Structure 1
Amino acid sequence: MFRRADLRLAAAGAVLLAATSLMPGWLLVLAATALAKGIVALGLLLLMRAGLVPFGQAMFYCLGGYAAGLGSLWLGIRDVLLLLLLAGLAAGAAGWVVGLLIRRYRGIFFAMLSMAFSMILYGVLLKSQDLGSSDGFSVPRPTLLGLTMTGTPALRILFAVTVLLTVLLAWGVSAYLRTAMGQIGPAIRQNEVRVSYLGYEPDRLIHREYAASGLLAGVAGALVAMLVGQVDPGMGFWMTSGEFVFIAILAGTGGIWGSLGAAFILEAVHAIAFDVAPTYWRLILGGTLLVMILRFPAGLSSLAPRRVRRA
């Protein structure tokens, strides 16, 4: 049975889909990018509830983008759904392998080790001439169920796919957080030893959630790659990971709405600041978000009604 929060999420998705035909191309790209980054923030939510802050999610975001691009160019896969599946599996598998090592660490060691893996990927891609080096390569427009997409209609279809996928993944994360395993995360943050005495293995749970967060980031990276038609090593740079962490901190750990809302706010402020002051947009962006964090130290999730937070 769907909860009210799930129905509200479906209603928000329906509103976005209804507005698709009215939105110009630049707004479609902006909104779809915000939704994709919100998907990454959903993965970070799983880890942050356990007290872990990874600074290497850009690695999976980049892997997803490159998997979509290479799947189209090298494997001949053109369908958007198959490319998203390929990107999610590639990033999820990478998260599972890296998680075998990283799941034993906590605190700053977890954060720095995850960033180290991301920077290794960035360095490899930067030196790879076959993959375009620092310039990356272009990603051709995908198809949808055999339908060729070009121009603005392609952006509208990709935006609709992004909205539907975001709603489905948000439902999945929300359902997981209501399970027994999903509720162990905050217990691990409070007292990991007691969780072990209860019969649960914190390392195994963190491993699964780390792999799941990698899968979500990979799907998001593939969406952005197909939207902008380009991938480059910058997708795996540490500043990209920092942006995701910033979204997660701004969102808080109260639920999925904060993650999606924070991603939209960050993209909107970024676009407006760059348009108003191209030279000082970073100063405007940083100052605005600093004020928001000081105003809402518990994140945007703290704005939810009290009865929702209790639930």
Structure 2
Amino acid sequence: MLAIGWFAPKWLTFLVTMAAANGLVSLGIVGLMRGGVVPFGQGMMLAIGGYAAALAFNKLGFTDALGLALGGGVMATLVAAPFAPLLSRYRGIFFAMLTLALSMVTYGLLMKLDMLGGSDGFNLGRPTLLGFKLPDERVGFVMYSLTVVLATVMALLARVYFDSTRGLVTVAVRENELRVEYLGGSVRQAMTINFILAAFCGGMGGALVVMSLGHIEPTFSFWTTSGEFVFVAILAGWQSVAAVFVASTVLEVVRSFSSAYFPNTWQLALGLFLLFVIRFLPKGIGSLWMKGPTR
């Protein structure tokens, strides 16, 4: 995968970079979907991670790409931690609307804060990696490599977590919360941990997106951005980790070519594509190679 990026055209490496970074954000949603809830505020985590990385770069002079990516994840985790115990009590539309409300409050604050660039946001320069300055012609490949490596590591860790006892408890919560409590499990604890892990994935993905784009703005936290991540999660299904990144890549490809050939109706093309997947693959792309419960 990394070797392909060395020879691939710049537009393709950028597309895969964005797909892998956005896939990280959607991976957090899939972790929550395994417990039966869907957050509509993952854009908030994307924005927090992105702004944290950009501010550390511009204000603190910390330019290491790996450190910024990890720092974005940690900052999103710290912000999400106080809300996680509260949100773990809610399900269905209530959980979705509360996470959406948090995301839109964040969007409103970012729009009004002139010190953060207001509605225009602000730029950041070229990052370094492990102390080495990156030449202009190789920045794209280095960010591609870093994003793919981090996405692969997080995907493997997610697979291990999903197959662990706590990860299987999350699936049990999806099926029957009351039975989980009777068996000695803690539903609230499981959902709290899942929300915090989703925040870390979202923050790391946000930092990687910002470093690849070189720009950050409040729309990262807007509800339509969160909707795109939900789109990817539904497209992938909750059974497979790899399917999340496949779905994210499919979204980027469909969006890129649709906006190029149908600039005024590319959202319609995305909607039709999602309807097609829901109709013929109701459990998501992952159901093509994963065998899961019938429900």
TM range, smaller chain: over 0.9
Q: Which amino acid aligns with 1:270?
A: R
Asked if 2 retains the 8 angstrom alpha-carbon contact of 1:270 and 1:285, the reply is yes
Residues 268-307 of structure 1: CA distance to partner in whole angstroms, max 9, x if unpaired?
Answer: 000010111112211122212221221211100110065x
In the alignment, is residue 125 of structure 1 matched against residue 110 of structure 2? yes
After the TM superposition, which of the residue ranges 167-176 and 145-154 deviates more from structure 2?
145-154
TM-score scaled to structure 2, two decimals? Answer: 0.97
User: d(CA) in 1 for partners of 2:236 and 2:153?
Assistant: 19
In the alignment, is residue 28 of structure 1 matched against residue 13 of structure 2? yes
Asked if 1 retains the 8 angstrom alpha-carbon contact of 2:85 and 2:188, the reply is no
Counterpart for residue 88 of structure 1: 73
After the TM superposition, which of the residue ranges 62-71 and 283-292 deviates more from structure 2?
283-292
Deviation at 1:309, TM superposition (A): 8.4
Asked if 2 retains the 8 angstrom alpha-carbon contact of 1:254 and 1:309, the reply is no
Counterpart for residue 164 of structure 1: 149
Counterpart for residue 242 of structure 2: 257
Counterpart for residue 4 of structure 2: 19
User: d(CA) in 2 for partners of 1:97 and 1:231?
Assistant: 25
Closer, same or farther in 2 for the Cα pair 1:309/1:103, shift >3 Å?
Answer: closer
TM-score scaled to structure 1, two decimals? Answer: 0.92
In the alignment, is residue 174 of structure 1 matched against residue 138 of structure 2? no
Q: Which amino acid aligns with 2:168?
A: Q
Counterpart for residue 4 of structure 1: none
Secondary structure at 2:81's aligned position in 1? helix
Asked if 1 retains the 8 angstrom alpha-carbon contact of 2:49 and 2:203, the reply is yes
Counterpart for residue 49 of structure 1: 34
Deviation at 1:248, TM superposition (A): 0.5
Alignment of 1:120-159 (within 5 A): 120-159=105-144
Residues 24-65 of structure 1: CA distance to partner in whole angstroms, max 9, x if unpaired?
Answer: 222111111101111112111111011000000100000000
In the alignment, is residue 37 of structure 1 matched against residue 15 of structure 2? no
Counterpart for residue 266 of structure 1: 251
Counterpart for residue 97 of structure 1: 82
Deviation at 1:93, TM superposition (A): 1.1
Stretches of structure 1 lacking an aligned partner (at least 5 in a row): 1-15
Q: Which amino acid aligns with 2:47?
A: C
Residues 61-88 of structure 1: CA distance to partner in whole angstroms, max 9, x if unpaired?
Answer: 0000000100001111111111112111
Secondary structure at 1:160's aligned position in 2? helix
In the alignment, is residue 294 of structure 1 matched against residue 279 of structure 2? yes
Percent identity, please: 40
Q: Which amino acid aligns with 1:297?
A: P
Counterpart for residue 198 of structure 1: 183
Secondary structure at 2:37's aligned position in 1? coil
Asked if 1 retains the 8 angstrom alpha-carbon contact of 2:50 and 2:209, the reply is yes
Counterpart for residue 211 of structure 2: 226
Deviation at 1:211, TM superposition (A): 0.4
Asked if 2 retains the 8 angstrom alpha-carbon contact of 1:95 and 1:212, the reply is no
Counterpart for residue 3 of structure 1: none
After the TM superposition, which of the residue ranges 116-125 and 98-107 deviates more from structure 2?
98-107
Asked if 2 retains the 8 angstrom alpha-carbon contact of 1:40 and 1:213, the reply is yes
User: d(CA) in 2 for partners of 1:35 and 1:152?
Assistant: 21
Deviation at 1:98, TM superposition (A): 1.5
User: d(CA) in 2 for partners of 1:54 and 1:279?
Assistant: 28
Equivalenced residue count is 294
